[in-house]
Amino acid sequence: MSRPSAAHDAPRALTTLTDEESLFRQSVREFAEQQIRPLASEMDEASKFSSDLIHQFFELGLMGIAIPEEYGGQGGSFFNSIIAVEELSRADASAGVIVDVQNTLVNNAFLMWASEEQKKRYLTRLAADTVGAYALSEASSGSDAFALTTRAEDKGDHYLVNGRKLWITNGAEAGIFIVFANVAPEKGYRGITAFIVGRDFPGFTVGKKEHKLGIRASSTCELILEDCAVKKENVLGEVGRGYKIAIETLNEGRIGIGSQMVGLSQGALEYAIGYTKERRQFGKAIASFQGVQFQIAQIATELEAARLMVYNAARLKDAGEDFVKEAAMAKLFTSQVAEHVTSQAVELYGGYGYTRDYPVEKYYRDAKIGKIYEGTSNMQLQTIAKLILGDV
């Protein structure tokens, strides 16, 4: 099966990009086409992302896009991060989420909440060679994120942290973790605090890696903290302000997940278009049948709308405007669109689409997580309704 043709490489939403952003998109796309796409199926089967590719992410500056140059980053915009995630996900959604978590969650949290000393110590590493991870979820606290049971006990000059975290993206590769724990359970969510934890801290262990349906090359791991000593200088932000850090960074992270969904949808659509032009039935290409044309037109329209919702939310964020509702809407809608587009792509391939010999079944598997992580679809609906209706 041939790769998507150049004719489908430029969605019209590119008209919303500046020349500089368009050049950045093209450079990321070329890298993804040449280096990531050929390895995507192999990494999926092995459930392991190439360490060489991660090294290349750092060399190209993709792991520190919005980190200021003074800390070794690219000094780019949040929107640039979104473009990168979209283009990487077009080739492999696992690549997209690795870069997404680094930029929209971990780096953003440091940029907004870290002290100057912490920025110099950690942002420089995150820009240069160290993968980051964001550890909020637990077995008993998914959508109810603030029901976490991980505890941090004040021991004078340090905290002893005990607990377990689940579903931690980049867990296998990360060297720096933002871990949320409660220092005062009697205060409820007001005791939640964010800690900067190094992989080499005594009492900290990366546990089992999950065996997943999709984005299989991206590691999703359990973290185990047993009397893990964390110095007070490693508190991110202020004690008891972890809930605010979590809320604000996840709002931005949802735009990143939206871009991942858009990218993988674009990849699936391109393959579907190429296949319908090649596949012949009743003496002609199936793309010549109106029924097939209408299916392609429908999912292409949905994808265009999804992309523009993501871009709008990212632009609002960069402009310093309120973007919470738009981020929730983008995350909700793009996950729905991704599921529909990839499902339709599988159907357009017919029986071949259901096999792993062809690429669209992977896009279909990868799309499902969009409705689940960084806030389920029901949680996005709740946020949107609250912001529209207010107190009722």
46-49 contacts, C-beta under 8 A, 24 or more apart: 46/217, 47/209, 47/211, 47/212, 47/216, 47/217, 48/217, 48/219, 49/94, 49/95, 49/98, 49/173, 49/217, 49/218, 49/219
Largest CA distance in the chain: 79
Phi-psi region of 54 (alpha: psi -120 to 50; beta: other; left: phi over 0): alpha
Dihedral sign of CA atoms 391, 372, 21, 300 in order: negative
CA dist 353 and 362 (Å) reads 9
Distance CA 42, CA 345 (A): 21
Query: Long-range contacts of range 40-45, CB-CB < 8 Å, 24 or more positions apart?
Result: 40/91, 40/92, 40/94, 40/95, 40/217, 40/359, 40/362, 41/356, 41/359, 41/362, 43/92, 43/94, 43/216, 43/217, 44/92, 44/94, 44/216, 44/217, 44/362, 45/216
Whole-angstrom distance, CA of residue 204 vs CA of residue 229:
9
Q: Both tokens of residue 167? A: 């579903």
Active site residue ranges? 374
Q: Residue 115 phi/psi, 5° resolution? A: -75, 170
